[in-house]
């Protein structure tokens, strides 16, 4: 029996396999721990990306909050200023409405006296005719009674007008004093509104309050914001008194209704029969700034020979007049050559205590050049210190420990070590005009004459909107905030 032995080929194959296994095991031992290195490297890279994303988000949010606070503060301040101007406009209108009411009452007083004298004179004439034509006597007696009633109402209205003048004068003084206070304090009210809006951007939870955004109150910045805001505000309006009340006088005259302005009477009081006729005249006149004169007359005329041919000769039928000024003066005779005018002057009811056209606050610069750009700018500068933003550097994550290989510190680099923003809003006047595209809500505000209306303190159409800074404003503000002014050339805003 023969015993088989392994051939040399099989033995060599087993030896090769054994060597390969040992080599693979040795290689695996040498590569042990490399996955951990890659894992740690990947984790470091992920952490760096996470830090970067987190810091970028925090910085972006902080920046946006600072910008939003500046814009909101500027718009809030400008809105307060617009409301102050509108309040003054409403009050000025109220004063003019009261003055128009006064001239209406004086006109009624004058007309009642005119009606009474006319009825009395016609009644006397009718009674004389009634001596010969008895039925006419009853008409005369009725007219006498009508005249007596008109006289009693006239006397009561005269007393009422004295009270009305006192009430209007108290109201004028109160409104003017209130306007003085509000105009002087309007800038401070705007600053207070801006500060409160900026403070409202702070986050609070429990007893903790985020440092958040604040108004930049450093002296240089305040001089460039609050100082300029206050200067622009106080120089925008002025008080019109004395002979400067021309615009107020014109507005008052235009505020009269037809009865107060001109009372020519009906057609049958203005007859022209050739050689004879009647003429009714009436209305009101504002003499200077401080006296109202309102008058009514009815006359019969006839043409008589004169040097120039045929001239009208007037005879009075009825008259009435009422005056109002500071001292109760009688004023002037409107037409000294006509007896009815003289009788009205002599028997006029004169009221004292009226100080004249109201003193008002209005726009200071009323030139045509200033009209298109009329308005006020309100600027707010806000800041947020770096410590108020929780970045990884602020929280102490990944600080440099002085190792030769460096550290993971990602400290943000901020100009002047803070986040800053500048907001600007503009107070402007705009009354909706007929025919504006896509304007469906302002039909009740259109002017009947479709004219362009410019700003004044007699129309309450002052508004506020955000506006862009001028390059000069931006450079000056950035310098006052401790920033390099050349950044005004390539940071947002102020490039116009």
Q: Is 279 a member of any domain? A: no
- pLDDT of amino acid 462: 95
Q: How far apart are CA 51 and CA 56, in angstroms?
A: 8
Other CB atoms within 10 Å distance of the CB of residue 306: 10
80 or 23, which is more confident? 80
What pairing do the DSSP bridges indicate for beta strands 309-325 and 349-351?
A: parallel
**Which residues 6+ apart lie within 8 Å of 189 measured at CB?**
80, 84
Q: How far apart are CA 270 and CA 277, in angstroms?
A: 7
- pLDDT of amino acid 445: 79
Q: Is the Cβ–Cβ distance between 139 and 170 less than 8 Å? A: no
Residues above pLDDT 90, as percent of the chain: 50
- pLDDT of amino acid 256: 94
- pLDDT of amino acid 22: 65
Measured CA distances, 84 to 71, 332, 425, 431 (Å): 20, 41, 15, 17
Task: With H, G, I as helix, E, B as strand and everything else as coil, classify residue 139.
Answer: helix
What pairing do the DSSP bridges indicate for beta strands 276-287 and 375-385?
A: unpaired
Q: Which domain holds residue 432?
A: 59-256+360-496
Q: Is the Cβ–Cβ distance between 86 and 94 less than 8 Å? A: no
Q: Is 288 a member of any domain? A: no
Closest alpha carbon to 279 in 291, 290, 293, 268? 268
Bridge partners of residue 112, in order along the sequence = none
- pLDDT of amino acid 162: 96
Q: What is the pLDDT of residues 70-81, one digit of tens each?
A: 999 999 999 999
Closest alpha carbon to 317 in 92, 123, 30, 464? 123
Which pLDDT band holds residue 192 (cuts at 50, 70, 90)? very high
Q: Is 491's pLDDT higher than 70?
A: yes
Q: Is 5 a member of any domain? A: no
Bridge partners of residue 419, in order along the sequence = 384
Q: What is the pLDDT of residues 155-190, one digit of tens each?
A: 999 999 999 999 999 999 999 999 999 999 999 999
Q: Is 31 a member of any domain? A: no
Q: How far apart are CA 51 and CA 412, in angstroms?
A: 12
Q: What is the pLDDT of residues 241-286, one digit of tens each?
A: 999 999 999 999 999 999 999 999 888 899 999 899 999 999 999 9
Q: Is 83's pLDDT higher than 70?
A: yes
DSSP 8-state secondary structure symbol assigned to residue 397: T
Q: Is the Cβ–Cβ distance between 225 and 380 less than 8 Å? A: yes
- pLDDT of amino acid 24: 62
Residues above pLDDT 70, as percent of the chain: 83
Q: Is the Cβ–Cβ distance between 332 and 293 less than 8 Å? A: yes
**Which of 63-67, 103-107, 364-368, 489-493 shows the highest mean pLDDT?**
103-107
Bridge partners of residue 240, in order along the sequence = 360
Q: How far apart are CA 173 and CA 359, in angstroms?
A: 9
Q: Is 381's pLDDT higher than 80?
A: yes
- pLDDT of amino acid 1: 47
- pLDDT of amino acid 11: 56
Q: Is the Cβ–Cβ distance between 125 and 281 less than 8 Å? A: no
Q: How far apart are CA 407 and CA 398, in angstroms?
A: 7
**Which of 96-110, 330-344, 415-429 shows the highest mean pLDDT?**
96-110
127 or 115, which is more confident? 115
Torsion, Cα 154 155 158 164, to 10 degrees, reads: -100
Q: How far apart are CA 127 and CA 326, in angstroms?
A: 42
Q: How far apart are CA 412 and CA 60, in angstroms?
A: 12
Evaluated on CA atoms 321, 325, 326, 332, the torsion sign reads negative
Q: Is 366 a member of any domain? A: yes
Q: Is 401's pLDDT higher than 60?
A: no
Backbone torsion region of residue 412, taken as left when φ is above 0, otherwise alpha when ψ lies between -120 and 50, otherwise beta: beta
348 or 417, which is more confident? 348
Provide the strand spans (E) within 288-410: 291-306, 309-325, 349-351, 360-363, 375-385
Measured CA distances, 186 to 229, 231, 233, 455 (Å): 11, 11, 8, 18
Q: Is 387 a member of any domain? A: yes
Q: Is 355 a member of any domain? A: no
The structural domain count of the chain equals: 1
Stretch 70-94: mean pLDDT, rounded? 95
Q: Is 150 a member of any domain? A: yes
- pLDDT of amino acid 396: 66
């Amino acid at each position: 029996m023969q015993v088989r032995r392994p051939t040399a080929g099989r033995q060599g194959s087993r030896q090769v396999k054994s060597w390969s296994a040992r080599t693979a095991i040795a290689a695996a031992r040498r590569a042990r721990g490399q996955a951990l290195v890659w894992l740690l490297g990947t984790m470091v890279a992920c952490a760096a990306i996470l830090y970067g994303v987190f810091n970028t988000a925090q910085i972006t949010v902080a920046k946006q909050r600072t910008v939003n606070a500046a814009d909101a503060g500027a718009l809030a301040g400008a809105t307060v200023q617009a409301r102050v101007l509108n309040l003054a406009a409403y009050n000025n209108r109220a004063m003019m409405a009261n003055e128009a009411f006064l001239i209406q009452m004086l006109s009624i007083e004058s007309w009642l006296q005119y009606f009474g004298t006319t009825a009395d004179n016609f009644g006397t004439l009718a009674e004389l005719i009634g001596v010969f034509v008895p039925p006419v006597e009853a008409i005369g007696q009725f007219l006498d009674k009508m005249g007596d009633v008109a006289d009693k109402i006239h006397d009561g209205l005269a007393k009422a007008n004295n009270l009305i003048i006192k009430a209007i004068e108290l109201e004028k003084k109160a409104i003017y004093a209130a306007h003085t206070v509000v105009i002087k304090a309007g800038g401070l009210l705007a600053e207070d509104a801006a500060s409160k809006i900026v403070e409202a951007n702070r986050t609070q939870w429990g007893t903790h309050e985020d440092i958040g955004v604040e108004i930049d109150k450093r002296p240089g910045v305040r001089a460039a914001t609050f100082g300029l805001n206050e200067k622009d505000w106080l120089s925008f309006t002025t008080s019109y008194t004395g002979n400067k009340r021309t615009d107020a006088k014109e507005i008052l005259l235009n505020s009269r209704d037809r009865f107060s302005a001109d009372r020519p009477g009906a057609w049958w009081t203005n007859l022209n029969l050739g050689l004879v006729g009647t003429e009714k005249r009436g209305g009101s006149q504002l003499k200077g700034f401080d006296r109202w004169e309102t008058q009514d007359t009815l006359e019969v005329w006839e043409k008589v020979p004169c040097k120039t041919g045929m001239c009208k000769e007037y005879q009075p039928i009825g008259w009435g007049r009422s005056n109002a000024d500071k001292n109760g003066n009688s004023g002037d005779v409107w037409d000294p050559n006509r007896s009815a005018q003289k009788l009205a002057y002599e028997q006029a009811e004169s009221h004292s205590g009226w100080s004249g056209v109201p003193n008002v606050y209005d726009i200071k610069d009323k030139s045509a050049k200033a009209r298109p750009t009329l308005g006020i700018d309100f600027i707010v500068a806000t800041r947020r210190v770096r410590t108020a933003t929780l970045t990884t550097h602020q929280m102490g994550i990944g600080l440099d420990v002085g190792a030769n290989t460096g550290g993971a510190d990602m400290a943000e680099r901020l100009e002047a070590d803070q986040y800053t923003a500048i907001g600007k809003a503009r107070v402007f006047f705009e009354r909706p005009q007929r025919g504006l595209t896509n304007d469906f809500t302002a039909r009740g505000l259109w002017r009947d004459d479709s004219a362009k209306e410019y700003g004044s303190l007699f129309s309450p159409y002052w508004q506020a909107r955000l506006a862009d800074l001028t390059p000069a404003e931006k450079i000056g503000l950035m310098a006052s905030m401790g920033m390099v002014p050349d950044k005004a050339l390539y940071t947002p805003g102020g490039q116009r």
